[in-house]
Structure 1
Amino acid sequence: MSAPSTDVSDLVSGVRSPLLAAAKPDPGQISKPERLRIDDMLQKYCGEFGWWQLRHFVLTSLAWALEAFHTMVMIFADREPGWRCVGSGCDEAAKSVCGLRPGSWEWVGGPGGSTVEEWGLVCGEKFKVGLVQAIFFAGCMIGAGTFGHLSDSRLGRKGSLTVVCILNAIFGCLTAFSPDYFIYLLLRFLTGFSTGGVGLCAFVLATEPVGPTKRGVAGMSTFYFFSTGIAILSGIAYIFRSWRSLYIASSIPSLLFLLIVLPFISESPRWYLVRGRINEAMKIMRKIAQYNGLNLPDGVVLALDEEANDTPDEHLTQSFKGESMKHEAITGSLVDVIQSPITRFRLFLTVGINFTCSVVYYGLSLNVVNLETNLYLNVLLNAVAEMPAFTITAILLDKFGRKPMAIGTQLFSGLFCFVGSFLGSSGIWKILRMGCGILGIFGMAGTYNLLFIYTTELFPTVVRNAALGCATQAAQMGAILAPFVVVLGGGFPFIVFGVCGVLGGFLAYYLPETLNRPLYDTMGGMEYGEGDWRVNV
């Protein structure tokens, strides 16, 4: 029998066909990127406050000392020096030189000691001292709003900090060469304009890369640098007794900060993220993990709040390649803050609290000229008194929360200001009043410090500096009022400070608690995360 015929083509086809049919890919097994918020990525992979954050935090917070130099230098430059009789018609028992015959007295310490001495800002011209101090804070108010917006938009946090430090160095040095009072007034306004952006840019830049459970303590620690700056300034002023040389000596550190410190500071990854520059943001996050001795896996990418909350879309999953995902830059402004019911109410309260707090803080700081004690020692004691307030507040902040601490510190300060208003200005009463002023500074310094971290947590990244800038503007408005209250002298300033402390504590009662809440990046993410805003506010 003949063998059955076999088709060659069938054999070839049989050899080529697989024994088992290829299984169809399971869509559920396609690798999806792990999209995390910055807070979640810090907690899970990078570390909340490791060596990278510590180094970055210290370097950035040094800018607070610069703000202290440019702000508090007026206490020494615009002080009223002592005087003595040199001829007939002068009464040694007189409390001021007003009414004394010209030529019968002279300033103690020689010419050029202060602006008051050089331009005769006494008696009927005394209001000019308060005016120049108020004009400085007016500049701070405008600068805070300007650089708050720029740091959220075009310049970024680091770029804005760079610009304000350059302007501070220039205007501060030029002030030393003021030929007359009005040029001095203008240059102090311009210095205030640049100084207004230093603190808020430095604070946000220092705290945004810190994890949520460490952010409170870190934020409270920034003001150690401000108080240390005041303490150092009292020593600088003791060495440089001429107001012109003092302005130069207090401005040079801004130049040194630009050249030595700023090159080692990184931009905020949160700013990169909301601007759509995810590559740069991821690069910083990998650097944070590396310096902290941790590892950030390749399959993890940063996402905005609403992106992290949603399930990734299929086309996003398929196009994912490392950190190459992009989104459009998200911007925000003060208009967005006002339009949202949540942030509008919060902004109203933070503006009011910052205003009253600033009246007390700067008022008590400037009021040392009315206490008739050693000026250099008193400024040093006030600066030192602030530091325990920061420590105590930082320790209790995460235990009791932001809201109770904001209420308690303001009421504490207001109470001692009221007590100080009933004390005399001679003998032992003068010392007791100074003590009440120090305790008032103690309480309000804790509030002033707390307000920065509190305000930062109340608003999302996209409008954070704009909102913080607005709150800072309100603080500068309070600072504008403070010199005019101080000029009135006596016990009246303490009454005003006491009222402001109590009022600020009342306003803080209506703020929501932010302890252990996420630091949101967008307005939509915050509204989604907060839920029903009527309950939260």
Structure 2
Amino acid sequence: MWSKASRLHSEEDMGLRAAFIPAAAVDGGAKLERLTIDDMLQKHCGEFGWWQLKHFVLTSLAWALEGIHTMVMIFADRDPGWRCTTSGCSSDVCNLEGGSWEWEGGPESSTMAEFGLICGHKYRVGLVQALFFAGCMIGAGIFGHLSDSRMGRKGTLTIVCLMNAIFGCLTAFSPNYYVYVFFRLLSGFSTGGTGLCAFVLATEPVGPIKRGIAGMSTFYFFSSGIAILAGIAYLFQTWRALYIASSIPSLLFLILVLPFIHESPRWCLIRGKVHDAMKIMHSIAKSNGKHLPENVVIALDSEVNGDYYSDDPESKQVTSSLIDVLRCPLTRIRLFLAVTINFTMATVYYGLSLNAVNLGTNLYMNVALNAIAEMPAYFLTAIWLDKLGRKPLTIGTHWFSGVFCLAGSSMKGYGTWKIIRMICGILGIFGMAGTYNLLFIYTVELFPTTVRNAALGSTTQAAQLGAILSPLIVVLGGGIPFAVFGAFGISGGLLGFFLPETLNKPLYDTMEGMEDGESKEAAA
């Protein structure tokens, strides 16, 4: 232990100064030990104890919000059905005169009914969906950058949840179709940053061995949010009431959950907030029933592996951007592969969802069952993640989905073949559901803390671009969509061969630390 005379004047000074003292320095006979966050979690704080469990659950609730705000369009923009009010009615509503038919549930039941999105204007329903995902694509990139910079993970998550609540409520008061489209675009903009901020914030304080299964588990919350949405939509069957009701969970999250969520210690460290990072690490150790020795100090991986020291806390800040990712050959290749694979995955996932055979049952029950049906894929992927590794599983899930899509493209849509084709589609979705959350974990581990959310934002943008493209493929009809989705699945799996394995590898803090670590591994 340090002598009383050598103690620093405050806890903050101790945290700041200790992090910049060489490990060889000796104070009162106790040798300072500089450790990265991963090493500190493994040796002293615990990789996934009570602190991480509580933090993980609270943070991952934001994924449920993303599921609600994304899938609310299924109910708000639905075709509520219509019925004739006069005799001799045609079966085609486009050939009927006004006053000879009416919407079931009234015009307020959906935007399609109230804004007249039928016949020649039916394409506008798809346009709203495409623009929402376009907003997600833009928001993912912007909020991914902001969460890596001054705003931080928690600060950015707070902003996007607040925006979700505001835009969701304003959508309910749209006086016409064009205002409705505008607010859905804004809702997509904020929704695009929700999941990626929540994912990184939930998984960064978890140790390397437990990080994979923890990351896979975040998507249970996404599916649960969709299932909860089905219940909300059943209770509020007018589209305006539905948008208000579906925005309330975001307000509750802001008020009841966010105050109990901590900022990421990794982000604190790279932003020069060493005292805050050490405070969080001590809190983790205490809650997990562990002890973090006073002579253990936190440091960036570039400091632990190199000879960089500084007495100026401000010089501790390490910032990077996507420009730095593109300048570095190692990360440039990784980003290209991650973006392309996420694009192929999302095109297949959303495309198969839109192309699935209608079960002919209650819409609310269908959505709830579809959400629940994805959970076994998450479970199985989580089991195999740490056994097979990220790379083989990425390849395998892509090919699993691709093979069944190609099989479905060869099936004729009649009789038994129609049922088999439906099963092929379900199995295709099953494979891509597992791939979706796997790629989040993979992307997190492929890039250092300084650019992690920016990289994740880029891959999320690529996924949203795939979501925009998928309806255009679906409208081709016949076996063409299955063939295209099969080709995408096989191609995504082939690209996975060029990615490195990240199983049980450290989460690097800086670009320099990652390059040094990869160089030493290659040399070994």
Same fold (TM over 0.5): yes
Is the 1:367–1:486 contact (alpha carbons within 8 Å) kept by the matching residues of 2?
A: yes
Residue 276 (1) aligns with residue 264 (2): no
> Which residue of structure 2 lines up, in the alignment, with residue 403 of structure 1?
391
Maintained 8 Å contact 1:365/1:382: no
Q: Equivalents in 2 of 1:491, 1:107: separation in Å?
A: 33
Cα 1:456–1:491 shift into 2, 3 Å = same
Q: Conserved in 2, the CA contact under 8 Å of 1:130 and 1:487?
A: no
| 1:303-452 map, 5 Å | 303-310=299-306, 327-367=315-355, 373-423=361-411, 431-452=419-440
Residues 28-427 of structure 1 aligned to structure 2 (within 5 Å): 31-92=30-91, 97-310=93-306, 327-367=315-355, 373-423=361-411
Contact 1:89 1:100 in 2 (8 A): no
> How far off is 1:335 after superposition?
0.3
User: Could you give the per-residue CA deviations for residues 321-355 of structure 1, whole angstroms, max 9, x where no partner exists?
Assistant: xxx97742000111011000011001001111111
Counterpart CA distance in 1 for 2:149 and 2:480 is 43
Q: Name structure 2 gaps, 5 residues minimum.
A: 1-23
In structure 2, the partner of 1:10 is none
- Cα distance in 1 for partners of 2:234, 2:289 equals 45
Q: Deviations over 1:55-90 (max 9, x none)?
A: 000000000000000001111111122233333453
Distance in 2 separating the partners of 1:378 and 1:426 = 23
Deviation of the 1:443 alpha carbon = 0.8
User: Is 2:136–2:189's contact at 8 Å kept on the other side of the alignment?
Assistant: yes
- Select between 415-424 and 144-153 the one with higher mean Cα deviation: 415-424
Amino acid at match of 2:322: L
Q: Is the Cα contact below 8 Å between 1:138 and 1:477 reproduced in 2?
A: yes
Instruction: State the shift of 1:154 in Å.
Output: 1.1
* 1:407-433 deviation digits (Å, cap 9, x = unpaired): 111111222233334456676655544
Q: Could you list the per-position Cα deviations for residues 93-123 of structure 1 after superposition, in whole angstroms to 9, with x for gaps in the alignment?
A: xxx5344454443332322111111112122
Distance 1:356 1:108 in 2: 39
Give the C-alpha shift of residue 239 in structure 1.
Answer: 2.0
> Are the aligned partners of 2:26 and 2:32 in contact in 1 as well (CA < 8 Å)?
no
Structure 1 residue aligned with 2:12: none
**Distance in 2 of aligned mates of 1:461 and 1:28:** 30
**Aligned residue identity for 2:176:** D
What is the CA RMSD across the aligned residues, in angstroms?
A: 2.4
Shift of 1:366: 3.5
Q: Shift of residue 244 of structure 1?
A: 1.1
The one-letter amino acid paired with 2:168 is G
For residues 102 and 533 of structure 1, what CA distance do their matches in structure 2 show?
73
Taking a change above 3 Å as real, the CA distance of residues 78 and 134 of structure 1, as seen in their structure-2 partners, is same
**Counterpart AA for 2:373:** A
- Are 1:161 and 1:202, in contact at CA under 8 Å, matched by a contact in 2? yes
The answer to whether the aligner puts 1:497 opposite 2:493 as a matched pair is no
Summarize the Cα distance change of 1:189–1:206 in structure 2 as closer, same or farther, 3 Å threshold.
same
Aligned to 1:480: 468
CA contact (8 A) 2:46 2:290 kept: yes
Aligned length: 500
In 2, are the aligned partners of 1:178 and 1:184 still within 8 Å (CA)?
yes
- Measure how far apart 1:498 and its partner are: 2.2
CA distance in structure 1 between the aligned counterparts of 2:206 and 2:322, rounded to whole angstroms? 25
User: Is the alpha carbon distance of 1:329 and 1:423 closer, same or farther for their aligned partners in structure 2, counting shifts above 3 Å?
Assistant: same
- Over 3 Å counting, the alpha-carbon distance change for 1:416 and 1:102 in structure 2 is farther
How far off its partner does 1:529 sit? Answer: 0.3
Over 3 Å counting, the alpha-carbon distance change for 1:368 and 1:117 in structure 2 is: farther
CA contact (8 A) 1:116 1:122 kept: yes
Match of 2:11 in 1: none
Identity within the alignment, %: 70
Q: TM-score, normalised by structure 2?
A: 0.90
In the alignment, what sits opposite 1:523? 511
SS in 1 for 2:34: strand
Is the CA contact 1:382–1:441 (under 8 Å) kept in the aligned structure 2? Answer: no
Structure 1 runs (4+) deviating above 6 angstroms are 26-30, 532-536
Per the alignment, do residues 74 and 312 of structure 1 end up closer, same or farther by CA in structure 2, a change over 3 Å counting?
closer
Which amino acid counterpart does residue 77 of structure 1 have in structure 2?
A
Q: Check conservation: 1:56, 1:206, Cα contact below 8 A.
A: yes
- Aligned equivalents of 1:285, 1:459: Cα separation in 2: 22
Distance 1:79 1:488, change over 3 A: farther
1:488–1:178 Cα change, 3 Å: farther
Q: SS in structure 2 opposite 1:214? A: helix
- Inter-partner Cα distance in structure 1 for 2:151 and 2:295: 30
Q: Compared with structure 1, are the counterparts of its residues 27 and 40 closer, same or farther at alpha carbon in structure 2 (3 Å cutoff)?
A: closer
Say which one has the larger Rg.
Answer: 1
Q: Are the structure 2 counterparts of residues 430 and 376 from structure 1 closer, same or farther at C-alpha, using a change threshold of 3 Å?
A: farther
Cα deviation code 1:228-249 (max 9, x no counterpart): 1111111221222111111111
Deviation at 1:481, TM superposition (A): 1.5
2:350 counterpart SS class: helix
For residues 230 and 285 of structure 2, the distance between their equivalents in structure 1, rounded to whole angstroms, comes to 40
The farther-off stretch of 75-84 and 286-295 is 75-84
Q: 1:511 aligns with which of 499, 520, 523?
A: 499
* SS of residue in 1 equivalent to 2:209: coil
Q: Contact 2:109–2:238 (CA<8 Å) still a contact in 1?
A: yes
